[in-house]
């Protein structure tokens, strides 16, 4: 089976498992796991922020990140198909007591005019006020689209002018960096706080981080424990993340090339594929998924007439070519 359902499906490589087995560990709730500390320091440095915090999932990282910026009865603005709005099952409302309003963009991009018109200033104790704007780079449900750096910089300026904060869901920021060559720290500079994932295309089995100021991270450390996310000798997992950062970032370019190959086979313009996700219209998505499965290719239906294909570390060139042949034949 060639599994194109998601880039979360990767299994740790032998080298990664060896790095995990060798990891020096301690109790991280006591702040005594040297491998976790090394990972947190490295990721904060890469993104140009003061500090970072290791979390079990990207969803927890997003909840912790956003709650450093937005309080009870305040709102965050985001694109309508953002992961925080669509795929975190109301966690931000449940834990933080915030509300969300959304703008719609088919490619998940920043819409400065909409944001300007949606922004709700502080009007006293009568109305919800906008505390933060959240952007997702790359944008998962918009087909792995990279957000334009010029828009992000304009957003930073607008947000600062309005006195609101910026959150970036950078679950796949590594893909954006490799696709564009924009240094990670330039993306980091746009956001007050970020969430990043090691468990997607980078191939670690578990792990995400919140990245931000020392104060935001100290606060997030308390809330992580409160939410049941304090982990003990978790250096074995941090070691997988460190290995992924050292060995699996530059190779994301291969995933992007494979995705373009698959796009072509599915009748999608390869130039519209920025990174490792292909979204293709099909008249009957579930039927297409079933037929592809019979031919040894796993893809997912993300809507009644939309299928999604995701390339990753466990999809070789050979796999991508085989899958492309099958998908082209299915039409
Ligand atoms: C996968 C993902 C997350 C986090 O997901 P978890 O499964 O909770 O680790 C967050 N944002 C985006 C855009 C994602 O694709």
Q: Is 217 in the pocket of ligand 1 (CB under 6 A)?
A: no
Burial class (CB in 10 A: 0-12, 13-18, 19+), 91: middle
Tell me the average pLDDT across 117-125: 95
208 Cβ contact list (under 8 Å, min separation 6): 54, 55, 56, 57, 58, 60, 61, 171, 195, 196, 197, 198, 199
Provide mean pLDDT across the span 196-212. 98
The 10s digit of each residue's pLDDT in 272-310 is: 999 999 999 999 999 999 999 999 999 999 999 999 999
Determine whether the shortest distance from the Cβ of 140 to ligand 1 is under 6 A.
yes
Query: How close is the Cα of 169 to the center of ligand 1, in Å?
Result: 8
Q: How far is the CA of 268 from the centre of ligand 1 (A)?
A: 25
DSSP 174-205: HHHHHHH---HHHHHTT-SEEEEESSSTT--S
In percent, the amount of the chain with pLDDT more than 70 equals 100
Q: What is the mean pLDDT of residues 8-32?
A: 98
Domain spans in the chain, listed from the N-terminal domain onward: 10-247, 251-330
10-247: CATH number: 3.40.640.10
What pLDDT is recorded for position 83?
98
Ligand 1 close to Cβ of residue 169 (< 6 A)? yes
Which of 5, 66, 87 is the pocket-test mutation for ligand 1 (most atoms within 8 Å of CB)? 87
Q: Is 55 in the pocket of ligand 1 (CB under 6 A)?
A: no
In the reported structure, the alpha carbon of residue 125 is separated from the centroid of ligand 1 by a whole-number distance in angstroms of: 34
For domain 251-330, give the fold: 3.90.1150
Q: What is the pLDDT of residue 136?
A: 98
pLDDT beyond 90 at 85? yes
* pLDDT tens by residue, 218-271: 999 999 999 999 999 999 999 999 999 999 999 999 999 999 999 999 999 999
Q: How high is the mean pLDDT of the chain? A: 97
What's the 135 CA to ligand 1 centre distance in angstroms? 13
Task: Give yes or no for residue 331 having a pLDDT over 90.
Answer: no
What's the confidence (pLDDT) of residue 130? 98
């Amino acid at each position: 089976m060639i599994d194109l359902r998601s880039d979360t499906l990767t299994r740790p490589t032998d080298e990664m498992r060896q790095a995990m087995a060798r990891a020096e560990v301690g109790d991280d709730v006591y702040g005594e796991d040297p491998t976790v500390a090394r990972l947190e320091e490295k990721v904060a440095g890469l993104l140009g922020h003061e500090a970072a915090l290791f979390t079990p999932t990207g969803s927890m990282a997003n909840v912790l990140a956003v709650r450093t910026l937005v309080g009870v009865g305040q709102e965050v603005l985001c694109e309508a198909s953002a992961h925080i709005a669509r795929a975190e099952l109301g966690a931000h409302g449940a834990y933080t007591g915030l509300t969300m309003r959304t703008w719609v963009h088919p490619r998940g991009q920043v819409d400065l005019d909409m944001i300007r018109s949606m922004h709700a200033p502080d009007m006293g104790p009568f109305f919800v006020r906008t505390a933060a704007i959240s952007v997702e780079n790359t944008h998962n449900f918009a087909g792995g689209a990279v957000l334009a750096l010029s828009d992000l910089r304009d957003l930073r300026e607008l947000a600062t002018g309005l006195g609101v904060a910026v959150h970036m869901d950078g679950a796949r920021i590594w893909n954006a960096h490799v696709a564009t060559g924009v240094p990670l720290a330039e993306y980091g500079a746009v956001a007050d706080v970020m969430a990043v994932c090691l468990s997607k295309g980078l191939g670690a089995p578990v792990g995400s981080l919140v990245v931000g100021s020392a104060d935001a991270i100290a606060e997030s450390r308390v809330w992580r424990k409160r939410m049941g996310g304090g982990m003990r000798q978790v250096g074995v997992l941090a070691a997988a993340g460190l290995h992924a950062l050292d060995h699996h970032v530059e190779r994301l370019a291969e995933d992007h090339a494979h995705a373009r190959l698959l796009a072509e086979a599915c009748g999608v313009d390869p130039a519209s594929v920025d990174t490792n996700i292909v979204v293709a219209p099909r008249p009957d998505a579930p039927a297409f998924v079933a037929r592809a499965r019979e031919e040894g290719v796993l893809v997912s239906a993300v809507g009644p007439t939309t299928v999604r294909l995701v390339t990753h570390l466990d999809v070789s060139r050979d796999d991508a070519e085989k899958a492309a042949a099958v998908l082209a034949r299915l039409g």
